[in-house]
Amino acid sequence: MDPEPHRIRILSWNIDGLDMGNIRTRAKAVCENIMRETPDVVFLQEFVTEMSDIFDKHCGPSYERFQAASDAYYTAMLLKKQTVKCTETKVVPFYTSRMGRALQSAQAEVKGIPMTLITSHLESTKDHAEERKRQLTAAFRAVNEAEGSRTVVFGGDLNLRDPELAAIGSLPDNIYDLWEVTGKRKEAAFTWDLTRNDNLEWQARFRPKCRFDRLYIRHSTPRTQLKPVYFELTGLERIPGCRRFPSDHWGILAHFDKV
Amino acid sequence: MDPEPHRIRILSWNIDGLDMGNIRTRAKAVCENIMRETPDVVFLQEFVTEMSDIFDKHCGPSYERFQAASDAYYTAMLLKKQTVKCTETKVVPFYTSRMGRALQSAQAEVKGIPMTLITSHLESTKDHAEERKRQLTAAFRAVNEAEGSRTVVFGGDLNLRDPELAAIGSLPDNIYDLWEVTGKRKEAAFTWDLTRNDNLEWQARFRPKCRFDRLYIRHSTPRTQLKPVYFELTGLERIPGCRRFPSDHWGILAHFDKV
DNA sequence: CCAAGAGTG
DNA sequence: CCACTCTTG
Ligand SMILES: [Mg+2]
Ligand SMILES: [Mg+2]
């Protein structure tokens, strides 16, 4: 019995597997967040092997996990067993990435709606804007290569700065930013925000904040099947004990209504 | 008696006053080059006080010199006494420059032609592209603020990369690159070329070459008064004795016919 | 994973 | 004054 038959939720979160400090405590906090929010689809970035057994234990009963790799750090997708039927998964490395980044995708039916789910952790840091723009362009191309009958949600830690998006000609006309179309809520803008998140060792006076993590939707045609209704941050609470956040990034959680 | 009554020549040269090695020997070589080429107008970048008396001695009899500053390093203009009547000089600092850069200009009659002469040493290094683009935009604005009856030549060490020019919308329609309109001669493209110029101490394997130094013209209206006919590099010969070049940049020399 | 700056080849 | 890497705040 689905208590929310008309609602679909998708979470994306960079869970900072590169920080070995409290890695298992933080991973457990991420899992508990997922089991509390119960999104249908989860995109994870910076998943590392050290987290595998924790995710197996906490999320394994409810979610199927697809990993883009098995060494270093990588993306992963969790698909809720109750509501998602996955028919195909794919990983396409960005061959010019210097950081081992890739585009991970899945064909799935989510509460009966045919969807293409795509995530990535695009090239990091301002210095690598050129490579990142190539990757984003490739990702948008992948979005639009999906069959028209499918609703496509693409997102992840895109490490994106707005001028970079402008430089590649802004968003394709048929792709929408879920934070934007749900009202551009200021409280949900900055997904990596060192004025609020002190997980990183940071001795600089300047506290940067960026909207690195984003989710996009391309609707199915001719009939739109999902209506974006809400976009929120998650992972905002400190873990009791270590007093750290689950990650240096907040998670982003998008809510849709079936229409 | 002017041996070339229908010819005007303008030289621009970054003479590397920041390299104290052989500074006076190199300055003298620059002066000798000027006295040999006898351009009507000279734009200099990286002029330093240590060169003043050398320029006074060698070029002082033939050229009037206007400096944009008197400390650190700065631009200077030499105007040939025989052929140029200067009525106004101006220096406008770029207030967001972190390197003390400025736009230096002069109103002058060159062989009877009313001209606005503008030079600058735009913000250096790839890292400072944003500031450099602002400065270039301001320079083009200054070019087009000159009265239509005047022929404007603007140029110097612009430290420019082609994508930066593209990023600010390319050249204004009425401004022409003198290297381009004289045939884009490959031999005259790279004005800072570490495959040919070893003045800098350089231990890297990669030898960069860039077209940092550029000259632009905006014609007078309704009647064009100067026709660009040739564009060449100068300062290509080593100085006997120290075996170094006068500067790490080549000079750029543009030739015009009065029409 | 910010922005500056320093050091290397 | 290149590109890259590293350190520092
Ligand atoms: Mg990270
Ligand atoms: Mg220099």
Residue A203 (CA) to nucleotide D9 (C1'), in angstroms, measures: 5
**Alpha-carbon span B107 to B125, nearest angstrom:** 30
**Reported confidence tier of residue A153, pLDDT bands at 50, 70, 90:** very high
**Alpha-carbon span B87 to A77, nearest angstrom:** 72
Domain for residue B1, yes or no? Answer: no
Over chain B (259 residues), what is each successive 10-residue block's mean pLDDT? 95 97 97 98 97 98 96 96 98 94 98 98 94 96 98 98 94 98 98 97 95 98 97 98 97 97
Whose C1' is closest to the CA of B125: which nucleotide? D1
Pairing relationship of beta strands A113-121 and A151-157 according to DSSP bridges: parallel
Domain for residue B2, yes or no? Answer: no
CB neighbour list of residue B203: distance below 8 Å, 6 or more residues apart: none
* Contact (Cβ atoms closer than 8 angstroms) between residue A99 and residue A124: yes
Identify the three-state secondary structure at position A101: coil
Domain for residue A2, yes or no? Answer: no
**In angstroms, what is the span from residue A14 Cα to ligand 1's centroid?**
7
At residue B71, the pLDDT reads 87
User: Could you confirm whether B157 is annotated as catalytic?
Assistant: yes
Whose C1' is closest to the CA of B204: which nucleotide? C9
- Measured between alpha carbons, how far is residue A171 from residues A118, A229, B200 in Å? 16, 20, 45
At residue B142, the pLDDT reads 98
Q: Which of A16, A40, A157, A248 is catalytic?
A: A157
* Contact (Cβ atoms closer than 8 angstroms) between residue B212 and residue B159: yes
Residue B224 sits in a domain of what CATH number?
3.60.10.10
Specify the amino acid at residue B43: F
Cα angle B63, B193, B184; round to 5: 80
DSSP secondary structure, A224-249, as one string: --EEEEEEEEE--SPPTTT---S-SS
Q: Is the CB of A213 under 7 A from strand C?
A: no
**Reported confidence tier of residue A1, pLDDT bands at 50, 70, 90:** confident
Whether residue A71 has pLDDT greater than 90: no
Residue from B249, B243, B202, B252 nearest B22 by CA:
B243
Q: Is the CB of A208 under 7 A from strand C?
A: yes
Domain for residue A28, yes or no? Answer: yes
**Alpha-carbon span B238 to B247, nearest angstrom:** 10
**In angstroms, what is the span from residue B156 Cα to ligand 2's centroid?**
12
H/E run at residue A140: helix A129-145
**Count of structural domains within chain A:** 1
Q: Which nucleotides of D are covered by protein (CB under 7 A)?
A: 1-3, 5, 8-9
**Alpha-carbon span A42 to A108, nearest angstrom:** 13
What single-letter DSSP state applies at residue B51? G
Whether residue A248 has pLDDT greater than 90: yes
Per the structure, the complete domain to which residue A36 belongs is given by 7-258
**Alpha-carbon span B148 to B155, nearest angstrom:** 19
- For the stretch A116-142, pLDDT in tens is 999 999 999 999 999 999 999 999 999
**In angstroms, what is the span from residue B14 Cα to ligand 2's centroid?**
7
